[in-house]
Structure 1
Amino acid sequence: MTGTTKLTVDGQPQQARSGDTILSLLQGLGIAPPALCSDPRIQPGAHCRLCCVELQGQEHPVTSCNTRVAEGMRIVTSSPALERYRHQLLEWMAQSCSSADLQGHPDKALHRELRRHGLAPGDAEPAPRGAVDESHPLIRFNPSRCITCYRCVRICEELQGQSVWHVLGHGAGIHIVPDSGGTLAASSCVACGACVDTCPTTALLDRPGLGQPPAERWTHSVCAYCGVGCEIEVGTAADAIVSVRPVLDAPVNKGHLCAKGRNGHAYERSPERVRQPLLRQEDGQWQASGWSQALDAVAQRLRRVIDTHGPDAVGVLGSARATNEDNYLVQKFARLVIGTHNVDCCARVCHTPSAAAMKMMLGTGAATNSFDDIELARCFLIVGANPSESHPVVGARIKQRLLRGAAQAIVIDPRRTELARQARLHLALRPGTNVPLLNAMAHVIVEEGLFDAGFVAARVEGLEALRSFLQAWTPERAAAICGVPAAQIREAARLYAGSGPAMCLHGLGVTEHSQGTEGVMCLINLALLTGNLGRRGAGINPLRGQNNVQGAALMGCEPGTLTGSQSLEASRARFEAAWQAPLPHNRGLNLLEMMDAAEAGRLKALYVVGFDIDLSLAHQAATRSALRKLDLLVVQDLFLNETARQADVFLPAASSFEKEGSFMNAERRVQRVRRSLPPLGEARPDWQILCELAAAMGLGEHFNYADAESIWNEVRAVWPDGAGLSYARLGRGGLLWPCRDEADPGQAVLHTEGFANGPTATLRVVDYRPSAERTDAEFPFLLSTGRNLYQFNAGTMSGRGPLSDLRATDTLDMNPADAARLAFADGELLQLRSRHGCAELPLRISGQVQPGQLFASFHDPAVALNRVTSPERDSIVQAPEYKLTAAQVARAGQAPR
């Protein structure tokens, strides 16, 4: 327990926590001196010296930012000598800014202090100290404004772990340069903006914000990109976003953001946003309409389909980008208004295998641990995930743990990612061979007696059955299949079993395979064997891809379960009582089954909320063929995406900046989303559109909500594990579920005593079944797909703005040896062909990719990479096999070589 220290401040007795700095004490008292080199996210630097205070008994002032409190200390925060000293320092610093800087950037720390002390720089430009660097699309560096506080250097190293900025020179000649030795664009910068955020002057600025007015209002909300769930402050002026910055005390991002979170908001006021409903005319052209006309048209056509073909001829898709409240109404609309369980969301194509495996084996289909356990883990098992690019803030937290030597990592991934380079072990397996590799690791753990005997005896069933099965899965057998040396497999098993707590984080490289669900089962086997469940710093943790994909599925946007992942039959009575209406009894179709039914002519109408299935689903030709056979396609979104271009009706939705609600991140944290702007044009929140459509279809009494909070209160009423998650309690930082009442703080670690489905969990025997997608002489390469740092999913949001200057299109990554053998040059346009289709995209020669393998991202609609991907599916939940496609490569317009 932290002790207390007694001391005096300006003659007044005070108490401080032992070990605190004087500056943190003074900040808590509201009498802190200026500290322009200080930032709570980094270690004290004591460079600016503005924070000096006097201590009785010491001849010279001391810097308060790096001086710890001590018993009996007598602190003086203000004296004539201190004020003169600070004034002189600020006068010197004022030479590094102009009056225009103060006016255009009033929130910069130096500018606040100059105003506070009555100091005003002149109109003249500061003396030049190097050329202004505008090479980077997102960050402007003006060395003439630098006061050498070194905050940029330290935050880049200590928060992001990139170490872009370096100090050169001595004395008056000290200057800051990027690690390229030249421009920032040529450096290793990942555009997280931490250096801009911490800079107390205009030496570093967000380029997209140049020329924008200062923010007039700041709104606390949540990022709309990946499943990390970073808290943000949205700065607005004149109904436009002018800045986004991180929330410093946020439990998830801890004052950090990535390039998308900070600079990926240009889509919000894009001229391509659809501002009013559109109806397709007989000549195929769009016609703008009013809301009443559009909703009446949808209602009439849906009723016609239901009356003619039955409610199960209609499918409804929720959105991983919409709020929990929106998605709750999506599935309620499907079940009550349409009368079908044909409802799903994009979790189907990413982490439904995770949810299914974890629900079957552990009783709860969600992450077992919170992100705060990253700082407690001693070993990371990172499987089929690239957090540095797909979940950058979590990736930075893991990287910091590795850089400080506090933990080791095992990375299982075909590519040599950033974390693979920093890991103790990188197991570069062949795509599609997760199950053999993980079985071989389990073989070593069992055969060498490395399992946690006490945990297994108390809480695990099926050890002997698994032991018998694993005898055949030696590392040597697995090595021949997966291409990883047997010695490495043994070392990985020993490290994971012997370095607890060990935290497993997995991504789509596990789930998007024909054995995706079973691959997750193999990971759970490893955690059960080693006792890495139900404890801090451990667990099985799927890295969810989109901002609310966890929430969309949990709200009931899947055919087999209701809100809270409650089974249909077990919770039917609760929902029928709450909704005052019966639920359908027919089995519902999932997304892939809906596509099959549309192709076969059984599904006649599809209502799609915020999900570009044309661009996102594997084997695009099959998706397009199915969509063409529908009688009615309704799309509710922000833009005319690839799916919407084929629709009959388009309904413009509000973005997350334009509405209230909540998101649920990958660690089960529910956080408030707050409106910072009015909806653009006639766009409306998704939940409001659904309510009005339900009324147009004669069932408005079941959708009579005043606001998003009233919807959320109904969610809490039907979901016992979320009953304690009131809006009032979510406040700042949110809460993790289970959270069963208003006194419950939320559960950071699941399965501490038992499992959701009983006191013990049973190990699963999972044999290997190779994918039907295989290479041969005609298609010799193995293609895998995934995300990149600067774009996101279908590019609907990230593709409209300055992020495209960093990553204009998708690339085809190829090993240098393969590129040399085929005489391909970096950047040339190639044709990528599989048995299922072809796409053209530029080559990027990369040592990250193994010989004989290819990697491509899928964000650019002009590339439409999913024309190439395989129709193979997970054998249990039907997630597409995006990660394994046999392919050939040729120069555009030439025959394959």
Structure 2
Amino acid sequence: MVNLTIDGKEVAVKEGTTILKAARFAGIEIPTLCYHERLNPIGSCRMCIVEIEGLAHPMTACNTPVTEGIIVTTDSPRLQKMRMETLKLLLVKHPLDCPVCDKGGECTLQDLVHEFEIEGTVYQAEREDRESLYPTPLIHYWPDRCIMCLRCATACREIKGLGAIDIDGSGFNTSITAVNRDKCESCGECIQVCPTGALTENLGRYKGRPWMVNRVMTTCTYCGCGCQLEINVFNNRIVGITTKDGIGVNKGSLCVKGRFGYEFIESEERLTKPLIKKDGRFHEASWDEALGLVAEKLKGIKASHGADASAGLSSARCTNEENYLMQKFMRAVIGTNNIDHCARLCHSSTVAGLATAFGSGAMTNPIADLLKSEVILVTGSNTTENHPIFANYIKEALLKKGAQLIVVDPRKIDLVDYASIWLRPKPGTDVAWINGLLHIIIKENLHAAEYIKERTEGFEELKACVEKYTPEYVSEITGIRASDLVNTAITYARAKPASIMYAMGITQHITGTDNVKALANLAMLCGNVGVEGGGVNPLRGQNNVQGACDLGALPNVFPGYQPVTNDALRKKFEMAWG
């Protein structure tokens, strides 16, 4: 620990901590504009300057590490004067258009100008009007409002790993522009980190001021990431989507669909009333009429053909409660186990494989554990397109934490550009290459022997099973070079810990369950289950595949994966449901 004094208060923090973080740890606020918790210190705004005893000039607190025994002053007449001058210089090109700015009321610059009692633009500068060359039409860039804090460009580079935008120009005519337009994903990460109104979304401009909208926290309904977002409601209409830094698995990030894909909610093409087909055409009906007709038809089918003549299809886009009620209705009311949902095609093999291996068909680790992984193996997943926020974590682990990435996929997905190893097996040969890794790890004595002895079973049987999967044999089946397979096995096995992520490229095969079991074997062989930064993590396709499975929307299990073939369990549910 490093001991220092801040504003007369003794503080002890870990070595490498910056003065800014040490001050916040001690409950002392230092003003900032360019600093953001998720980004490496930028040091461009100079608002966080502090005095350090013995040094002639103030230092920026955001990127100055603490040292033993230093005495820091965060608030003095000298510092206040310098910070005020900094703000005045920032306002040289910044219009005081707060009444029409969408950021008005939640703008960090506005708050600081108010705090320092600056009443207008003090300094003037000539500047030329420049065309805004931002890489996406979903975001509007206001060059005059930009204070060049560089948060946007840094976030695009560090969080998204893209570098689509950067600085262009010099002096008062500096602006943010598209330097790699094709790399922009229109995710809005730049909007999220912008401290002013320099970046605003084009869909929701002028639709509601921050203090006028009602923000409702909810979960995104698109993919399986489960991002937390705020629906901005004004006059009973959705006018935008925002997020809170540090909240939810997404920590404030969203993809293009999560941030901008909300206008369909107000579409006039959405159904608002039940429709009943008569004479070949659909006609609007009341709920009583529609529900009565469905009940009558189901009763008739059951009476004429038996309960098993009906089947129910639930949905991974519905809530846990809805899925539970749907399967309960089919079982307790109709009297059949004919209930299923889309996981039959996408992740039923995950449920079967992981439940057999671990007792649960879910991710073994929280996604944030990727930041603790030394090696991440991704297979059967186009993560950046299908699970963009999870891809953010992978890139952060690589770019900030120094992790290595192994991609196993016949396709050249986006993550290949970040990978240390890329294997391209022939489609349908997943069991072979995974068993090949198992073979090499055992032969090279890289397996976690003590872990296997204490926490697993069936090792000798596994060893015998993979004996024939030599690198040469696997190469003939998969097309992967033997040397590449050996390198991959050693890289994964030596990492402590290593994580596995997979999606439907693994599961949607006739060998899908075996593929999942093989990945589970790989993780257990190296002691990577039950540890931070390890695990086997299936990436679900829709927003509630996991919940739909957990709540029993499957023909072979009750809620909680309790088999319908067990007489005692059937009795239990009969008693519970009457």
* TM more than 0.5: yes
* 3-state DSSP of counterpart to 2:241: strand
Q: How does 1:446-595 map to 2 (within 5 A)?
A: 446-568=442-564, 569=566, 570-579=568-577, 581=578
Which residue pairs with 2:5 in the alignment?
A: 7
Matched, 1:155 2:155: yes
The residue number in structure 1 matching 2:186 is: 191
The equivalent of 1:246 in structure 2 is 243
How far 1:8 moved relative to its partner? 4.8
- Contact 2:135–2:184, Cα closer than 8 Å, also in 1: no
Counterpart-to-counterpart distance in 2, 1:126 and 1:306: 81
In the other structure, the counterpart of 2:62 is: 65
CA distance in 2, matches of 1:92, 1:175: 16
RMSD over aligned Cα atoms: 2.7
Cα deviation 1:217-240 (Å, max 9, x = unaligned): 222222212111122222222222
Q: Distance in 2 between matches of 1:242 and 1:117?
A: 33
Partner residue, 1:593: none
Distance 1:378 1:25, change over 3 A: closer
- Give the letter for the 1:212 counterpart: K
Moved more, 55-64 or 562-571: 55-64
**C-alpha contact 1:503 1:532 (8 A) present in aligned 2:** yes
> Against the structure 1 CA distance between its residues 72 and 234, is the aligned structure 2 distance closer, same or farther, given a 3 Å change threshold?
farther
Contact map agreement 1:97 1:121 (CA 8 A) in 2: no
Would you say how many aligned residue pairs link Structure 1 and Structure 2? 569
Report Cα offsets for 1:157-176 as digits up to 9, x if no partner: 22111122233455556443
Instruction: Give deviations 1:320-363, integer Å, cap 9, x for gaps.
Output: 11211221212122222222211111111111101101112322
Aligned to 2:80: 83
Alignment partner of 1:103 out of 100, 118, 139: 100
2-structure distance, mates of 1:199, 1:305: 60
- 1:286, distance to aligned residue in structure 2 (A): 1.7
1:325-404 superposed matches below 5 A: 325-404=321-400
The aligned counterpart of 1:279 is 276
> Which stretch has the larger CA shift, 428-437 or 79-88?
79-88
> Structure 2 counterpart of 1:293, which letter?
E
8 A Cα contact 1:178 1:187, kept in partner: no
CA distance, structure 1, for counterparts of residue 48 and residue 574 of structure 2: 63
Residue 53 of structure 1 contacts residue 64 of structure 1 at CA under 8 Å; is this kept in 2? yes
1:290 Cα offset (Å): 2.1
Cα contact 2:158–2:399 (8 A) shared by 1: no
Q: 1:145 Cα shift?
A: 2.6
Q: CA deviation at 1:42?
A: 1.0
When the two structures are superposed, what TM-score results if normalisation uses the length of structure 1?
Answer: 0.60
2:368 touches 2:393 (CA, 8 Å); kept in 1? no
Equivalent-residue separation in structure 2 for 1:274 and 1:135 (angstroms): 35
Measured after TM superposition, the shift of residue 426 of structure 1 is 0.9
Matches within 5 A, 1:194-273: 194-215=189-210, 216-250=213-247, 252-273=249-270
Amino acid at match of 1:51: C
Counterpart of 1:507, as a letter, is A
- Identify which range, 109-118 or 472-481, moves more after superposition: 109-118
The letter of the residue matching 2:193 is: T
The structure-2 alpha-carbon separation of the partners of 1:104 and 1:450, relative to structure 1 and needing over 3 Å to count, comes to same
* Structure 2 portions without partners, runs of 5+: none
**Correspondences of 1:580-659 after superposition (within 5 Å):** 581=578
Contact 1:33/1:51 (<8 A) preserved: yes
User: Which deviations, in whole Å up to 9, do the C-alpha atoms of 1:670-697 show, x marking residues without a partner?
Assistant: xxxxxxxxxxxxxxxxxxxxxxxxxxxx
Closer, same or farther in 2 for the Cα pair 1:344/1:370, shift >3 Å? Answer: same
* Cα pair distance change 1:94/1:238, threshold 3 Å: farther
Deviation at 1:318, TM superposition (A): 1.9
Q: Give the secondary-structure state (helix, strand or coil) at the position aligned to 2:233.
A: strand
Q: Secondary structure at the match of 1:397?
A: helix
In the TM superposition, 1:123-142 aligns within 5 A as: 127-133=127-133, 136-142=136-142
Distance in 1, matches of 2:159 and 2:389, equals 9
Please show how residues 745-894 of structure 1 align to structure 2 within 5 Å.
Answer: none
Asked if structure 1 preserves the Cα contact closer than 8 Å seen for 2:135 and 2:178, the reply is: no
Contact 2:142 2:197 in 1 (8 A): yes
Q: Is the 8 A contact 2:378 2:500 kept in 1?
A: yes
CA distance in 1, matches of 2:25, 2:525: 47
Partner in structure 1 of residue 286 of structure 2: 290
Task: Point out the structure with the larger helix share.
Answer: 2
Q: Conserved in 2, the CA contact under 8 Å of 1:41 and 1:255? A: no
Cα offsets for 1:254-302 (capped at 9, x unmatched)? 2322212211222222222211222222x22221122222222222222
Following superposition, the deviation at residue 469 of structure 1 comes to 3.4
CA 1:492/1:57 → structure 2, altered by over 3 Å: closer, same or farther? closer
Q: Is the 1:378–1:502 contact (alpha carbons within 8 Å) kept by the matching residues of 2?
A: yes
Deviation at 1:466, TM superposition (A): 3.4
- Contact map agreement 2:161 2:395 (CA 8 A) in 1: yes
* 1:514, distance to aligned residue in structure 2 (A): 1.3
Tell me: CA distance 1:528–1:32, structure 2 relative to 1, closer, same or farther (3 Å). Answer: closer
Partner of 1:411: 407
Which whole-Å CA distance do the structure 2 matches of 1:466 and 1:81 have between them? 71
* Correspondences of 1:698-777 after superposition (within 5 Å): none
Shift of 1:508: 0.6
The alpha-carbon deviation at position 437 of structure 1 amounts to 1.8
- Deviations along 1:14-39, one digit per CA (max 9) or x if unpaired, are 65644554434555677634311111
Query: Per the alignment, in what secondary structure is the counterpart of residue 461 of structure 1?
Result: coil
TM-score w.r.t. length of structure 2: 0.90
Shift of 1:554: 0.3
> 1:38: which partner in 2?
35
More contact order relative to length (CA 8 Å, sep ≥ 6): 1
Which secondary structure state, in structure 1, belongs to the residue aligned with residue 311 of structure 2?
strand
Residues 126 and 173 of structure 1: CA distance in aligned 2, closer, same or farther (over 3 Å) = closer
What percent of counterpart residues are identical? 37
State the AA in 1 paired with 2:155.
I
Give the counterpart letter for 1:471 in structure 2. Answer: E
> Does the Cα contact within 8 Å between 2:405 and 2:421 map onto a contact in 1?
yes
Residues 121/237 of structure 1: CA separation in 2 closer, same or farther (3 Å cut) = farther
2:229 match: secondary structure = strand
AA at the equivalent of 1:89: T
With over 3 angstroms needed to count, the CA separation of the structure-2 counterparts of 1:6 and 1:399, relative to structure 1, is: closer
**Does the CA-based 8 Å contact 2:2-2:66 persist in structure 1?**
no
Residue type of the alignment partner of 1:37: C
Tell me if structure 1 keeps the 8 A contact 2:192–2:252.
no
Structure 1 distance, partners of 2:394, 2:29, is: 33
Whichever residue aligns with residue 5 of structure 2, its letter is L
Paired AA for residue 82 in structure 2:
Y
Q: CA, structure 1 residues 478+87, in 2 after alignment: closer, same or farther (shift >3 Å)?
A: same
Alpha-carbon distance in 2 for matches of 1:550, 1:217: 30
Q: Residues of 2 paired with 1:125 and 1:230: CA distance?
A: 43
Distance 1:14 1:480, change over 3 A: same
Change (3 A) 1:104 1:236: farther
Secondary structure of the structure 2 residue equivalent to 1:302? helix
Q: Output the CA distance in 2 between the equivalents of 1:427 and 1:99.
A: 55
1:634-667 deviations in Å (ceiling 9; x for gaps): xxxxxxxxxxxxxxxxxxxxxxxxxxxxxxxxxx
**Shift in Å, 1:381:** 1.7
Deviation, 1:427, is: 0.9
Q: Which digits, 9 at most, give the CA deviation of each residue in 1:406-433, with x for residues without a partner? A: 2222211011112223212111112111
| Post-superposition offset of 1:206 | 1.6
Deviation, 1:558, is 0.7
